[in-house]
Amino acid sequence: MSDSAKVALLIETSRGYGRQLLRGIARYSRLHGPWDFYLVPGDFKQALPRMKRWGGAGIIARLETPQIAKDVLASGLPTIALDLKQEERETNHPLSKLSEISSDSYGAAQLAAQHLLERRFQNFAYVGVRGRVWSDLREQSFCKHIEEAGYSVEVYRGPRSKREREWDREQHQLAEWLSNLPKPAGVMACNDDRGREVLEACYNAEIRVPEEFAVIGVDDDDLLCELADPPLTSVALDAEGTGFRAAALLDQMMKRKVRKPQRLLAKPLHVVTRRSTDIFAIEDSDVAAAMRFIHENATKPIQIDDVVRYVAISRRNIETRFRKVVGRTLHEELQRVRMERAKRFLLETDLPIPQIADAIGFGTPSYFIQVFRAAHGVTPSRFRRQIRNETS
């Protein structure tokens, strides 16, 4: 007989977000288990096993149907739910007694909005999915941040009936809706699945991406995004780190050391830029060329003189025009882009600081540390420790 805890995982394996959560859970199990898992590969619709007969001790589940929710509550086992609806979080609802994993939809949409605003768009749209709390939250946050910047957002509502939401029917409606939007525009899709559908609708409507519409999704399902046409830009979430923390919480719940419901957030990490947003909606062609040169060469040891030589006009001329259009100097933009690349290296790799400094175009580690501390208030090493402590 095995002494391993038996845990049921009702988490979709067909999506990057679910797979990342599962990787984090598996990592915790390797370090602190082992656990025995019940897992059915596939999409959202799954079934709970007979937990008492199986000997189950805990559950992490997306409660996709009323029957799954009923079965989970009837089991009486420590449970962590994924993305409860707002009404399910109300104190009088039985599911409110469960702990929960949810994505930081507010933060993800904020990053998406910032990304599109940095590309100087003035027209914006949001395409969500009806009935999903995380989609509604991302819509609210995206609209809020775009409106705070002085612009408005067109929101696609989609058909109400389930039959009309079948993609072979809905794609024509979405294509027509997109065709009537002002161009160029920055479009946020609520997740990568929806982002791929937006790209398909753009193709059907003969809308060029990214020249007319720049499209960004959420979850950074790398396989899904790379297979899109064009490859889809996406906001990466710390799903794996959240899966690890969820497993640690469930372990404490199964040991009766935690009894009050807890809420874990999968925080956004950064935007993974791909071809679908690889453009700047800047009417001044020289400023657009300077911006593109900076973004494409920021990891090289370039200087402002290199930018000036590329655009082939006087330094005073391009500096004045660039600042007027972008709101930053050439130097400030170069340093900003390098800092964003630096944060990705610090989050995603174990490279030592001198190698990161070299990889993002800084001549010396000391200068990199000085610039990073001025931008973020801490040294690169402390930034890395702080982020990793939050996500492990």
DSSP labels, 272-339 = E--GGG-----S-HHHHHHHHHHHHHTTS---HHHHHHHHTS-HHHHHHHHHHHHSS-HHHHHHHHHH
| Residue 179: per-residue pLDDT | 96
| Residue 240: per-residue pLDDT | 93
Say how far apart CA 29 and CA 38 lie, in whole Å: 13
Say how far apart CA 229 and CA 215 lie, in whole Å: 11
Mean pLDDT of 340-344: 86
What is the residue whose two structure tokens read 């039985």?
A: 94
With a cut of 90, say whether residue 205 has pLDDT above it. yes
Of 44, 58, 131, whose CA–CA distance to 88 is shortest? 131
CA atoms within 13 A on the CB side of 214: 25
Burial class of residue 292 (count of CB atoms within 10 Å of its CB; 0-12, 13-18, 19+): middle
With a cut of 70, say whether residue 9 has pLDDT above it. yes
With a cut of 80, say whether residue 345 has pLDDT above it. yes
Cα distances from 74 to residues 6, 57, 316, in angstroms, run 17, 13, 72
Beta pairing class for 268-272 and 263-266: unpaired
With a cut of 80, say whether residue 164 has pLDDT above it. no
Q: What is the mean pLDDT of the chain?
A: 90
Domains (ranges, CATH) in the chain?
A: 5-103+239-267 (3.40.50.2300), 105-238+271-277 (3.40.50.2300), 285-390 (1.10.10.60)
With a cut of 80, say whether residue 251 has pLDDT above it. yes
Burial class of residue 104 (count of CB atoms within 10 Å of its CB; 0-12, 13-18, 19+): buried
159-168, 292-301, 344-353: which range is least confident on average? 159-168
pLDDT band at 104 (very low <50, low <70, confident <90, very high): very high
> What is the percent of the chain where pLDDT is above 90?
60
| Residue 1: per-residue pLDDT | 37
Of 197, 219, 210, whose CA–CA distance to 108 is shortest? 219
32-46, 168-182, 258-272, 352-366: which range is least confident on average? 32-46
With a cut of 90, say whether residue 326 has pLDDT above it. no
Per the CB < 8 A criterion, the answer to whether 133 and 85 are in contact is yes
pLDDT band at 160 (very low <50, low <70, confident <90, very high): confident
Mean pLDDT of 330-344: 89
pLDDT band at 44 (very low <50, low <70, confident <90, very high): low
With a cut of 80, say whether residue 392 has pLDDT above it. no
